[in-house]
Amino acid sequence: MKKVQWKHLGLVFAAAPMMFIAACGDEEAGTEEGTAGESGEVNYGEELGYEITGIEPGAGVVAASETATEEYESLEGWEVVTSSSGAMATELGAAIDKEEPIIVTGWSPHWKFQKYDLKYLEDPNGVFGGEESIKTMARKGLEEENPEAFKVIDQFQWETADIESVMLEVSDGADVEEAAATWIEANSDKVAEWTDGTEAVDGMEIELAYVEWDTEVASTNVLGQVLEAQGFDVTMTPLDNAVMWSAVAEGQADAMVAAWLPATHASQFEKYGEDVVDLGENLTGAKVGFVVPSYMDIDSIEDLTPAE
């Protein structure tokens, strides 16, 4: 499978500046098991330098997090530090190794919930929305011009356990191609439903746009391999979120399986929704929000404390 850069659209590199976790030294007291008091008693803000560990700047969860810092009094003076999904995961793992506090812009499905003991902070103001779905969007004209690919893409649909098994293998060091192939081999019934009623082709081109978030890397690779097995010449193009949406809306990419709705990509859907073909949900039961290690003595965004 080809993975290209789009020169006209500008691939956004995950520059991933490694951020350093503020050394907590002796101030760690209170995060140790048994020493923490009532919820909200520990001043995590001070320990964290009033910083939330974000991901790529274009992500919906980052935009929602920035809204949260404006809407919650408890987050006054806090900052969402953007980097990349990979850097966020590295920092989360490093904090957990040392049992230090950390707040990340998180989402599920995600392998981090299988690897670590984590919780979402309650969001009483509903800034992050509720239950999300991941939807598939195709370009206008794809159905007429490439009906076999359109049908497979339209029929692509799976569950949290499926995507998590691919993501977990990748996080354990497997190549995504290998992890996708393993899942496909073990789930031929599901794959047969996606290709049901379609015919194989001989090298017809199809281009899938995506963003390099763990979820989308997994889903796009699985769908890409299924299309390839059907005889398509598949190109997968990693882009910034907004660029992914505009690429499908403007017909530069054929489809994407990375639309998080109704809340996370609401602004992109508002802007491009009329110019794309909405093929419905490919996964339900998704969620975004602030995620923290379970050992942190806090349950809600409101339990945080504003910067002095």
CB-wise, 108 or 146, nearer to ligand PBE?
108
Smallest gap from Cβ 59 to ligand PBE, in A, equals 4
Residue type for 284, please?
A: T
- Give me the least distance between CB of 46 and ligand PBE, in Å please: 28
CB of 287 to ligand PBE, least distance (A): 9
Q: Which is nearer to ligand PBE, 108 or 225 (CB)?
A: 108
Residue 34 CB, shortest distance to ligand PBE, in Å, is 34
**Residue number with CB closer to ligand PBE (61 or 209):** 61
The nearer residue to ligand PBE, 48 or 134, going by C-beta atoms, is 134
Measured from the CB atom, the residue of 61 and 276 that comes closer to ligand PBE is 61
User: Counting Cβ atoms within 10 Å, is residue 70 exposed (0-12), middle (13-18) or buried (19+)?
Assistant: exposed
CB nearer to ligand PBE: give 132 or 148: 132
Residue 130 burial (CB < 10 Å; 0-12/13-18/19+)? Answer: exposed
Interface with ligand PBE (CB under 6 A): 55, 59-61, 107, 213, 215, 241, 260, 264, 288
CB of 249 to ligand PBE, least distance (A): 17
Cβ contact 69:97 at 8 Å: no
Please count the helices (runs of H) and the strands (runs of E) in the chain: 12, 10
Q: How far is the CB of 85 from ligand PBE (least distance, A)?
A: 6
